[in-house]
Amino acid sequence: MENGYSPWLDKKKIKVGEDWDYAINKALKESTFVILLLSSVSVKKRGYVQKEFNLAIKYSKNMLIDDIYIIPILLDNCEVPDHLRKFQWIELNNKNLMPEILDSLNIQRQKYLETLSPDQIELNDFTKLSIDLNIPIQNQINYLCKLPLFHKNRFFDHNFVNTFIQQKALEQISGYRKLINELDDHFVLQNKDNFYLYISHSIAQLNEDFLSLSIVYDSYFGGAHPNTSIDTLNFAFNPERTLRFYDVFKYNYDGLAILIKEWLHKYGDEEQKESLVYYIDCLTEDNINFTFNNKILEINFTNQVPRVLLAISSLEIPLKEFPKNIIKIEKIMN
């Protein structure tokens, strides 16, 4: 369920005493996707394995010609059976195995969701989007990208939100493309197995009024240690608009550092008070990263502090202790 999918596996899903043949046939018939694990043993094994393969092919005939339904994975250097050759397969040892499989699943799920009316789409019905790194050595780098792709719904303009999210990520990806392109070829050849870029997201708040999320970039392309950076995006709906820090909290425009120092003194732990105070002056209205829900405002110092301080880079401020006149958008706390 980590990526929004609920896998069915016979050994885990079939109950004691249940009709094995009926359960498997029903599961295949109702499945949105079927992942086939092919090996030198399974492709030559007679009996139930072949029956399951053939059932999957039978139900694939009910799909549109461009639907993604059967996803074969080669566990070893086996020969793909003739009746499965029309389906593009992927090898288990592919470094981007999971990203490529998830990309296919998400493309197909997007197609399903687009057939629904906006009234049938719930707030949490979004797809995980992966943006192609699009570099010559992409398959030699451990790369994973998971961004939310919202669908047309009755709550907010999904195109407005998706555009901002993808633009943020593309700005970072563009920087990584430039970095990798400028690396010495010999250095890349020696170290490519250790290179990685992981792009993930976390949604702090999603309701009919607000969306607050963060995008985290973890990477290593040489050097003494990996790198981590963060982008945050905050939206208000009806009408759709992005929120800057000043849109959420009242403060004198030149008094941001004073405000953060007060919060650090009141809500930070001893280690944070001792270390983060030196980086507060680096925060401005243009670069402060923050997210919120109806209980907590989180200010993130990831982009300002050295890596050794990442564990304490998040300052959480409980909103319930604030006078209401400090908060410009009172709906946040509702």
Residue range 171-215, pLDDT digits in tens = 999 999 998 888 777 777 777 678 899 999 999 999 999 999 999
pLDDT at residue 325 in the model: 47
- C-beta separation of 280 from 264 below 8 A: yes
Q: Is the peptide bond before 239 cis (omega within 30 degrees of 0)?
A: yes
The model's pLDDT over 283-298, given as tens digits with 9 standing for 90+, comes to: 999 999 999 998 899 9
CA atoms in the 13 A half-sphere facing the CB of 318: 5
Q: How far is CA 9 from CA 15, 17, 98, 108, in A?
A: 11, 16, 18, 21
Whether CATH 3.90.640 fits 246-334: yes
* Token duo for residue 215: 């995008």
In CATH, the number for domain 95-243 is: 3.30.565.40
With b for 16 or more beta-carbon neighbours within 10 A and e for fewer, the 184-194 pattern comes to eeeebeeebee
| pLDDT, tens digit (0-9, with 9 covering 90-100), for 230-287 | 999 999 998 999 999 988 877 766 688 988 999 999 999 999 999 999 999 999 999 9
- Express each pLDDT in 39-85 by its tens digit: 888 777 665 677 777 787 887 887 777 778 888 888 888 888 777 88
Q: Which range has the top average pLDDT, 8-17, 201-210, 219-228?
A: 201-210
- Measured CA to CA, the distance from residue 227 to residue 38 in angstroms comes to 37
Contact between residue 171 and residue 150 where contact means Cβ atoms under 8 Å apart:
no
Q: Tokens for 317, please give them.
A: 């401020």
The predicted structure's pLDDT at residue 313: 96
**Is pLDDT above 70 for 334?**
no
Report the pLDDT averaged over residues 143-161.
90
Task: Please say if the pLDDT value at position 113 is more than 80.
Answer: no
Read off the pLDDT band of 169 (50, 70, 90). very high
What pLDDT, on a 0 to 100 scale, did the predictor assign at position 270? 95
pTM to 2 decimal places: 0.71
Coil/strand/helix, residue 144:
strand
Return the percentage of the chain with pLDDT > 90, whole number: 36
- The CATH architecture annotation of domain 1-93 reads 3-Layer(aba) Sandwich (3.40)
One fold for 1-93 and 246-334: no
Distance of alpha carbon 26 from alpha carbon 177, whole angstroms:
46
- Residue 127 above 70 pLDDT? yes
Q: Is-contact 212 158, C-beta < 8 A?
A: no
pLDDT of residue 172: 96
Lowest mean pLDDT among 5-9, 172-176, 316-320: 5-9
pLDDT of residue 332: 60
Rounded to 5 degrees, what angle do the CA atoms 102, 103, 108 make? 95
Whether 204 contacts 291, CB under 8 Å = yes
The three state secondary structure string of 50-67 is HHHHHHHHHHHCCCCCCC
Residue 8 has pLDDT above 90, yes or no: no
Domain boundaries, the chain: 1-93, 95-243, 246-334
Answer yes or no: are the C-beta atoms of 238 and 153 closer than 8 Å. Answer: no
Q: Are 73 and 36 in contact (CB under 8 A)?
A: yes
CB-CB neighbours of 181 under 10 Å: 11
**Phi, psi dihedral angles at 100 (to 5 degrees):** -70, -40
CB 304 within 8 A of CB 284: no
The half-sphere exposure of 75 on its side-chain side, counting CA atoms within 13 A, is 9
Mean pLDDT of the chain: 84
pLDDT of residue 181: 83
What sign results for the dihedral spanned by CA atoms 109, 115, 120, 121?
positive
Mean pLDDT on 11-21: 75
Instruction: Report the distance separating Cα 90 and Cα 72, nearest Å.
Output: 7
